[in-house]
């Protein structure tokens, strides 16, 4: 625009070759030139404006702010200035950096070693012209990869969801006019007007304030709204102490204000959280690591088979290439291609079971991760507590104590006099009644549909009145005057006239004890005012200190005819109390070997009070501040962090550092939270758990799990489920590897001993169906054992193929091979020719061994009588189907032709059943021996300790 004007001026100012004279400019053109030069200077100024850090902005006076941002505080910015600044600062929004294309994300799923091994086996199947095997393996891989990709794609929305925090609209002064704009239009230097109910659209330095209270719980973790001021600050402090700054995404709860935008988009404090989230990568789950290790182990196992067979063939003088082909084919057959599908099915069923318990799991492997989680870090406000201020204790001026039950802004709960436990309603106790009346009348809050409109502290007093059937007492008075609360005077009072005209006007006051007591000359003693003696004042002061040490916010209440002649009524203790079921959940988790830690932005006293209340570390708490976390080196923090149970005054950076330190010390960490200040920690933890109802959009998307009902105790169900899933995967691996090793060894031994093949191709295919089909798959859906929650968390270094499991696999395989070879040797004719009876007996024997092996693989430690025959219905149906299928193969003529079988007698079946049951009996006896040894070891350890 400016350049266009200058081109016209240059034409006017052009040098005339003929006359060598300048052409004079007209008056209007001179003014235009001057305006253009001013605009150029203004544009240069606007483009030098930078976002101001909150700590620096908090120290600036109004005049300094106006100079820094080149803005008139009354008229705001001009549209020209806004345009120029937007060129530098961009829009007030977050842009997630999704540079990686979808196809690359999909291909990344194939990096899993087990998937690569399966693809290699499919390629070998094609080369050996086993096309059916190649197709089945490829289909299995595609199913697993696609499901995993869909899950990951859904979970990666966390950065995009931050945009929901930027409110769509705001009120802004531009060009001297109040305008209603989209929040994304704001630039540094804009003047924004705030009123009750507004969500703050950017980081703003306040310049005008009227009783402004801002809910910063999602940002700082503080349950109590923060009172704001417009005066410059002088002292040093963290972000939570900047009382003249309001931060993007927080909520105006009361009053109004106006201020200058000091930071937008990624240059705001929420922008810092956004950048931290971009830098964080979700760690691999222990199950994913275990599956990677299993893939490597199976690859090594496959190469060993190929090597042994080639060596044996070479020693026998056979052709190396043909021996290599046989070795590769056997190795491919040994790889359990059904394993990824079983793992996927097991995890999906776990997710569905969790959904029934009101827990949404967004990433499949996360379900199992909770099984080895040994530390749960939890935010306090909104997670362990309900973020609803509640009165829990009363002390009247004449020394009566009462406790209040019930949580939240409703009338549920009672007020009980101590120690008699007498329930008080109305004015049945005059001292308690008058105390509650004062709190209800000196109040501006309203409760509608269990939600407070106004200050949470005042909402707590209204809820207390509702519990005593005194919520309508306010209607008995007409308010004449109000002296509002201010941070300087620390009290508020109302002057009321009773609707009964015979009574005089009366003042009701509430506030800090040390301020309210100064206006009192009397104290209430059972409805009779008595002079307030120093002894009585000292008693009340001691009670106030006791309540303060319990982490309660203490309010004093008084009433009387004049402000200087009030009657002291007593004290109420208010706190954001723990959610129902949290204490019990913490106890169960602690008993099962899970350490629970609280990380909060709140003050030390409140954090310790809640910590003791919910039973953290059995009340033996060790606390650490956010400043201490920041000053400590990461390696020292990793050594120290395990001993601390309460972290207070923490910021998002501190929470991230604590999580990293715990992970460095070898812990598997779950993080629970509901605010934006928890989002980075939720994403970096091994398991991020968000609240469904009170949680912000950001916390829900950054988390892997969401507790729909905000029920902390639901974590116990998830831990139980996680432990059960890993056991089921191990059961499947044991069954499938013992079966496949048996089948391969049978064929290998017969080949090496120059015997006929004990099984034909169709029979091997049928065994493969049982090996990878319903009986095997049903092991993955075994219901969770109720004793699993009592077991300590699984060591993350434990592999699926542990030494104990390998021994059990080899033992089962040895029994199956020995039994099947015995039947084969018994049935083979003297000329060593394969007959239908020989193969039928050997084939049926192997299938029966398989089914008995599956039965004992249902649990690694418990006997079949302990877990019950009928508990896993899918297993029963699949085994019954396999038996009927096997009988059909033996007795139905068309199938006899296909499988080359013949009828067997009842005695044959009984012999095979008895022989095949040996694998089941031996495994069960091994479990009994293990139990006996385990008890003896525990008894010895206990004896040594004593």
Positions marked catalytic: 379
Residues written for the chain? 946
Report how far residue 582's alpha carbon sits from residue 711's, in angstroms, rounded to the nearest whole number: 8
* Residue in the block written with tokens 């950076």: 653
Parallel, antiparallel or unpaired: strands 191-194 and 177-182: unpaired
Asked if residues 597 and 685 have their Cβ atoms less than 8 Å apart, the reply is: no
> Cα separation of 764 and 771, whole Å?
10
Between CA 612 and CA 324 the distance in angstroms is: 67
The tokens describing 366, both together, are: 């996360």
φ/ψ of 415, rounded to 5, equals -110, 115
**Phi, psi (deg, nearest 5) at residue 594:** -100, 125
| Three-class SS state of 40 | helix
Burial class (CB in 10 A: 0-12, 13-18, 19+), 31: exposed
| 480's tokens | 């004449």
- The DSSP code sequence of 41-102 is HHHHHHTT--PPPHHHHHH--HHHHHHHTT-BTTTBB-HHHHHHHHHHH--SS------S-H
Q: Using a CB cutoff of 8 Å and minimum separation of 24, what contacts does 297-300 make?
A: 297/799, 297/801, 298/114, 298/117, 298/334, 298/335, 298/336, 299/113, 299/117
- Tokens representing 880 are 């019954």
Stated as kind and residue range, the H or E segment containing 556 is strand 553-560
Residues forming a β-bridge with 508: 494, 559
The single-letter DSSP state of residue 385 is B
Sheet strands (E) in 362-414: 375-378, 390-396, 401-404
Number of alpha carbons in the 13 Å side-chain half-sphere of residue 108: 11
CA–CA dist 731, 725 (Å, integer): 10
Distance CA 737, CA 743 (A): 10
**Tokens describing residue 498:** 């009773």
Strands (E), 52-154: none
Q: Helix 2-12 crosses helix 27-46 at what angle (to 10 degrees)?
A: 140
Whether 48 and 222 have beta carbons less than 8 Å apart is answered as no
The DSSP letter of residue 382 is I
Residues in Cβ contact with 547 at an 8 Å cutoff, skipping those fewer than 6 apart: 393, 395, 554, 571, 573
- Cβ of 341: how many Cβ atoms within 10 Å? 20
Tell me the C-alpha distance between 582 and 594, whole Å: 14
> In sequence order, what DSSP letters do the residues of 245-260 get, joined into one string?
EE-TT-EEEEEEEEEE
Cβ-based neighbour number of residue 557 at 10 Å: 29
How many angstroms separate the CA atoms of 580 and 572, rounded? Answer: 22
The span from the CA of 423 to the CA of 414, in Å, is 7
Q: What residue has token string 């009902």?
A: 709
- 92 exposed, middle or buried (CB, 10 Å; 0-12, 13-18, 19+)? buried
CA-CA distance, 40 to 43, in Å (whole number)?
Answer: 5
**Checking DSSP bridges between strand 390-396 and strand 566-575, what pairing results, if any?**
antiparallel
End-to-end CA distance of the chain: 90
What is the SS3 assignment for 175-226? CCEEEEEEHHHCCCCCEEEECCCCECCCEEEEEEEEEEEEECHHHHCCCCCE
**Parallel/antiparallel/unpaired status of strands 191-194 and 169-174:** antiparallel
């Amino acid at each position: 625009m400016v350049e266009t004007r200058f081109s016209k001026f240059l034409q006017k100012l052009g040098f005339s070759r003929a006359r060598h004279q300048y052409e004079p400019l007209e008056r209007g053109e001179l003014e235009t030139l001057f305006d253009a030069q001013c605009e150029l200077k203004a544009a240069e100024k606007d483009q030098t404006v930078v976002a101001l850090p909150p700590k620096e902005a908090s120290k600036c006076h109004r005049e300094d702010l106006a100079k820094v941002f080149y803005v008139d505080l009354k008229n705001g910015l001009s549209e020209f200035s806004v345009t120029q600044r937007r060129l530098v600062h961009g829009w007030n929004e977050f842009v997630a950096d999704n540079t990686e294309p979808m196809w690359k994300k999909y291909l990344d799923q194939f990096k899993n070693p087990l998937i690569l091994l399966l693809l290699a086996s499919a390629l070998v199947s094609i080369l050996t012209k086993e096309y059916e095997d190649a197709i089945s393996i490829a289909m299995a891989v595609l199913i697993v990869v696609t499901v995993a990709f869909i899950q990951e794609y859904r979970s990666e929305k966390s950065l995009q969801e931050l945009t929901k925090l930027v409110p769509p609209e705001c009120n802004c002064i531009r060009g001297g006019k109040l305008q209603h704009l989209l929040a994304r239009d704001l630039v540094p230097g804009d003047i924004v007007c705030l009123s009750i109910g507004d969500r703050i659209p950017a980081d703003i330095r306040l310049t005008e304030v009227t009783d402004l209270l801002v809910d910063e719980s999602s940002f700082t973790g503080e349950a109590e709204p923060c009172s704001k001021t417009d005066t410059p600050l002088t002292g040093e402090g963290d972000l939570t102490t900047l009382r003249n700054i309001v931060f993007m995404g927080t909520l105006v709860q009361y009053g109004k204000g106006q201020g200058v935008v000091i930071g937008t988009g990624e240059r705001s404090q929420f922008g810092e959280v956004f950048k931290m989230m971009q830098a964080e990568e979700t760690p691999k789950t222990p199950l994913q690591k275990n599956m990677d290790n299993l893939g490597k182990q199976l690859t090594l196992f496959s190469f060993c088979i190929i090597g042994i067979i080639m060596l044996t063939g070479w020693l026998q003088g056979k052709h190396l290439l043909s021996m290599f082909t046989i070795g590769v084919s056997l190795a491919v057959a040994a790889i359990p291609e059904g394993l990824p599908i079983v793992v996927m099915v097991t995890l999906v069923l776990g997710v569905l079971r969790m959904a029934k318990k009101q827990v949404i799991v967004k990433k499949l492997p996360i379900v199992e991760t909770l099984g080895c989680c040994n530390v749960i870090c939890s935010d306090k406000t909104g997670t362990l507590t309900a973020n609803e201020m509640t009165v829990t204790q009363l002390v009247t001026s004449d020394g009566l104590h009462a406790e209040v039950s019930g949580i939240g802004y409703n009338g549920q709960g009672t007020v009980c006099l101590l120690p008699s436990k007498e329930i008080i309603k109305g004015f049945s106790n005059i001292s308690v009644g008058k105390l509650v009346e004062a709190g209800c009348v000196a109040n501006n809050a309203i409760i509608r549909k269990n939600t407070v409109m106004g200050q949470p502290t005042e909402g707590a007093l209204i809820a207390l009145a509702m519990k005593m059937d005194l919520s309508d007492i306010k209607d008995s008075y007409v308010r004449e005057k109000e002296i509002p609360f201010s941070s300087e005077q620390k009290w508020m009072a109302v002057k009321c006239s009773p609707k009964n005209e015979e009574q005089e006007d009366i003042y009701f006051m509430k506030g800090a004890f040390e301020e309210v007591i100064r206006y009192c000359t009397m104290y209430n003693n059972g409805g009779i005012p008595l002079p307030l003696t120093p002894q009585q004042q000292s008693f009340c002061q001691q009670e106030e200190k006791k309540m303060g040490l319990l982490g309660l916010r203490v309010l004093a209440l008084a009433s009387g005819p004049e402000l200087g002649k009030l009657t002291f009524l007593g004290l109420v203790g208010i706190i954001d109390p723990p959610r129902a079921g949290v204490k019990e959940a913490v106890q169960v988790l602690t008993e099962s070997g899970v350490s629970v830690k609280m990380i909060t932005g709140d003050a030390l006293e409140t954090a310790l009070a809640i910590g003791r209340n919910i039973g953290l570390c059995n009340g033996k708490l060790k606390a650490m501040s956010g400043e201490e976390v920041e000053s400590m080196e990461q390696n020292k923090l990793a050594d120290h962090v395990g001993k601390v149970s309460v972290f207070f005054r923490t910021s998002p950076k501190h929470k991230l550092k604590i999580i990293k330190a715990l992970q460095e010390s070898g812990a598997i960490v779950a993080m629970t939270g509901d605010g934006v200040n928890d989002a980075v920690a939720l994403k970096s933890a091994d398991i991020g758990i968000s609240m469904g109802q009170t949680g912000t959009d950001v916390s829900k998307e950054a988390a892997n799990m969401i507790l729909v009902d905000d029920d902390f105790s639901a974590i116990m169900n998830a831990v139980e489920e996680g432990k059960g899933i890993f056991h089921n995967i191990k059961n499947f691996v044991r069954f499938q590897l013992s079966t496949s090793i048996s089948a391969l060894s049978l064929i290998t031994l017969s080949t090496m001993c120059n015997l006929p093949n004990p099984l034909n191709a169709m029979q091997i295919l049928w065994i493969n169906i049982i090996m990878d089909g319903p009986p095997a798959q049903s092991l993955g859906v075994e219901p969770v054992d109720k004793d699993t929650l009592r077991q300590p968390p699984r060591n993350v270094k434990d592999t699926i193929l542990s030494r104990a499991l390998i021994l059990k696999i080899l033992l089962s395989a040895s029994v199956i091979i020995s039994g099947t070879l015995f039947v084969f040797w018994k049935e083979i004719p003297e000329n060593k020719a394969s007959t239908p009876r020989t193969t039928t007996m050997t084939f049926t024997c192997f299938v029966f061994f398989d089914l008995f092996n599956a039965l004992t693989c249902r649990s690694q430690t418990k006997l079949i009588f302990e877990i019950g025959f009928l508990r896993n219905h899918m297993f029963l149906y699949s085994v019954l189907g396999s038996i009927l299928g096997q009988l059909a193969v033996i007795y139905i003529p068309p199938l006899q032709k296909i499988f080359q079988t013949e009828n067997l007698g009842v005695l044959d079946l009984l012999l095979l059943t008895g022989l095949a049951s040996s694998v089941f009996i031996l495994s069960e006896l091994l479990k009994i021996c293990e139990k006996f040894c385990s008890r003896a070891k525990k008894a010895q350890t206990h004896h040594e300790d004593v």
